[in-house]
């Protein structure tokens, strides 16, 4: 799976260039946040249009303000062989650069909506398609194109950063004073990959719901898909609703308020709710008021750890039962397919992974691929490309960079317990909590689905918190998360965003719906 020497040479050169440039961009003589370049988006476009920078011929055009995005200069280019990128330059630059990561198997440049908040704050932003074009559910590039596989795995971000820094410097006449990375899901993995392999590239990284243990979570996807496909294992939306309501009935009030979200998940133990209590008489499916033995086996597969041979990192921590499994973007979408497992996103991801990384056969049946760890060389090769499990991030720490981890408490795509494992592994590696607190924070947002959505408060400005930490040495503590009305952006309610392992406990007046909407009536417990 290695690229040819000629094709990999340009990629490797770009990575070296990125590292050199980033040293100048981070902590150099231009590290003065009071300095602001005066170029407008129009002027930046005029400067860059038609130029070749970092080996890429650039096109540039001003994009008027629309929806959440302000006016900006959109700069596009391609780095050989086919790494497409986009740089967005705001009207009023704050002197800093923000890189927004992708999702799934990438294949397209992320929508500007993912960068809109950063653009509004004055950041220049950059993103890419990671070096191949296609559906985010399609890993066929890994079967046919070793260079694309390496770019997706770890090289696309540092490669694009080299060109982005040059382009931003050309547009505004000065190097970025700080460079930050932010991404969710695979984007979170990309963030941790750069923390681990390119520690000098960013001054700070925000890794949301990071898909960092590719071998482990894909194996867990495969295991649960098989349980769902087994006779009687199909899980309808009614079954999911039964499970979710049962968890809420048992555990919702354990955080001090009955609000439809189980914030105190650590107290929602098997003593509070045991899925076996939903067992159908005799273990055979008798309708929507119970779970058969085959369906309880699905719940067990989903909520227990999956461990595979070959490496201590070939594992996946099980999902917690949250009480919000019935959210439209939770268990039905990701796990069960609402009765048809082959439509579930977890099934589709593991299926394309088996076909293109492990069996290396587009006709392979992923449900018949057993055991998951049968081909150790294939697992190790995939891990070398895609796993970001190394908890020894001392080089990143030593240069003063900061890391913020975040995970939705109702994430049915990737287990928040995996992110907790990585966080705890880093804490152990650096010598304890006090040392870790100097450079790392971890937040869990109760009731929030994968990256966003769900009944919980899913909006929080982690970028401002990170920037204050890096530039002003103001370490973030409890933050505020909001739930916004999708129609008009109005705040529906707020919650404290607590540092792990704390959760927001309601301390306000009883039976007061308006008081329960205010973050000030909660304490991190």
The tens digit of pLDDT for each residue in 358-406 reads 999 999 999 999 999 999 999 999 999 999 999 999 999 999 999 999 9
299 assigned to some structural domain? yes
Q: Which of 439, 415, 436, 525 is nearest to 478 (CA)?
A: 525
Residues 130 and 61 grouped into a single domain: yes
Q: Is position 471 within any domain?
A: no
Domain that holds residue 52: 1-176
Residue 511 lies in a domain: no
Under DSSP, is residue 490 helix (H, G, I), strand (E, B) or coil? coil
pLDDT in the model for residue 160? 98
**Domain's final residue, options 336, 366, 386:** 386
pLDDT at 29 over 50: no
Please say whether the beta carbons of 516 and 510 come within 8 A. no
* DSSP H/E element including 85: strand 83-90
Q: Which of 386, 408, 435 is the last residue of a domain?
A: 386
Please say whether the beta carbons of 22 and 201 come within 8 A.
yes
Assess whether 141 and 254 both reside in one domain: no
pLDDT tier for residue 8 given thresholds of 50, 70 and 90: very low
The answer to whether residue 143 is domain-embedded is: yes
pLDDT at residue number 25: 39
Residue 37 has what pLDDT? Answer: 56
**171 shares its domain with 223:** no
For the chain, the average pLDDT equals: 93
One domain for residues 168 and 220: no
Residue 135 and residue 2 share a domain: yes
Does 463 map to a domain?
A: no
In a domain, 492, yes or no: no
Residue 60 shares a structural domain with residue 126: yes
Do both 376 and 295 map to the same domain? yes
**What's the pLDDT score for residue 39?**
84
**Whether residue 225 sits in one domain with residue 156:** no
Q: In this predicted structure, what is the pLDDT of residue 175?
A: 97
- As for how many domains the chain has, the answer is 2
**pLDDT grade, residue 145 (50/70/90)?**
very high
If asked whether residues 220 and 164 sit together in one domain, one would say no
> Quick one: 379 and 260 in the same domain?
yes
| pLDDT tens digits, one per residue of 221-277 | 999 999 999 999 999 999 999 999 999 999 999 999 999 999 999 999 999 999 999
Q: Is pLDDT above 80 for 20?
A: no
Rounded distance between C-alpha atoms, residue 256 and residue 132, angstroms? 49
- Strand pairing of 204-208 and 52-53? unpaired
- Is residue 62 scored above 80 in pLDDT? yes
Residue 24 clears pLDDT 90, i.e. is over it = no
Same domain, 9 and 157: yes
pLDDT tens profile 65-124? 998 999 999 999 999 999 999 999 999 999 999 999 999 999 999 999 999 999 999 999
Q: Are residues 38 and 141 in the same domain?
A: yes
Is pLDDT at 501 greater than 70 in this prediction? yes
Place of tokens 């201590």: 312
- Domain-located, residue 508: no
């Amino acid at each position: 799976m290695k690229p040819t020497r000629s094709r990999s040479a340009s990629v490797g050169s770009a990575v070296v260039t990125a590292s050199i440039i980033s040293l100048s961009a981070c902590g150099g003589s231009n590290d003065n946040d009071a300095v602001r370049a005066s170029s407008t988006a129009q002027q930046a476009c005029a400067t860059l249009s038609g130029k070749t920078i970092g080996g890429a011929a650039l096109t540039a055009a001003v994009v008027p303000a629309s929806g959440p995005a302000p006016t900006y200069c959109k700069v596009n280019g391609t780095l050989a062989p086919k790494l497409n990128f986009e740089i967005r330059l705001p009207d009023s630059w704050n002197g800093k650069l923000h890189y927004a990561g992708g999702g799934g198997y990438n294949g397209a440049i992320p929508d500007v909506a993912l960068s809109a908040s950063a653009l509004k704050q004055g950041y220049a932003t950059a993103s890419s398609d990671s070096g191949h074009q296609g559906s985010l559910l399609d890993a066929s590039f890994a079967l046919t194109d070793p260079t694309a596989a390496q770019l997706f795995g770890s090289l696309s971000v540092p490669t694009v950063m080299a060109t982005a820094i040059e382009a931003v410097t050309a547009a505004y006449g000065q190097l970025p004073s700080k460079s930050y990375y932010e991404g969710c899901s695979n984007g979170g993995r990309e963030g941790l990959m750069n923390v681990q392999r390119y520690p000098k590239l960013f001054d700070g990284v925000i890794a949301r719901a990071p898909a960092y243990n590719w071998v482990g979570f894909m194996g867990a996807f495969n295991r649960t898909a098989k349980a769902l496909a087994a006779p009687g294992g199909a899980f309808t939306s009614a079954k999911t609703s039964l499970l979710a309501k049962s968890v809420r009935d048992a555990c919702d009030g354990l955080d001090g308020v009955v609000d439809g979200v189980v914030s105190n998940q650590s107290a929602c133990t098997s003593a509070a709710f045991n899925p076996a209590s939903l067992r159908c008489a005799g273990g055979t499916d008798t309708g929507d008021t119970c779970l058969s033995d085959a369906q309880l086996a699905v719940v067990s597969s989903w909520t227990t750890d999956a461990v595979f041979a070959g490496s201590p990192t070939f594992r996946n921590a099980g999902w917690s039962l949250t009480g919000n499994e019935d959210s439209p973007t939770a268990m039905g979408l990701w796990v069960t397919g609402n009765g048809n497992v082959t439509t579930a996103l977890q099934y589709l991801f593991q299926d394309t992974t088996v076909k293109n990384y492990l069996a290396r056969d587009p006709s392979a049946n992923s449900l018949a691929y057993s055991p998951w760890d049968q081909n150790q060389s294939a697992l190790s090769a995939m891990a070398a490309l895609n796993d970001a499990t190394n908890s020894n991030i001392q080089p990143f720490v030593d240069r003063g960079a900061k890391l913020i981890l975040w995970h939705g408490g109702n994430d049915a795509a990737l287990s928040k317990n995996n992110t907790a494992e990585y966080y705890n592994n880093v804490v152990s590696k650096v010598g304890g909590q006090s040392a870790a607190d100097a450079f790392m924070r971890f937040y869990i947002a109760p009731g929030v689905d994968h990256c966003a959505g769900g009944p919980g408060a899913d909006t929080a400005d982690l970028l401002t918190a990170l920037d204050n930490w890096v530039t002003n040495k103001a370490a973030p503590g409890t933050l505020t998360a909001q739930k916004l009305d999708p129609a008009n952006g109005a705040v529906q309610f707020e919650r404290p965003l607590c540092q792990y392992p704390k959760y927001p406990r309601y301390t306000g007046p009883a039976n007061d719906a308006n008081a329960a909407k205010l973050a000030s009536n909660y304490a991190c417990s």
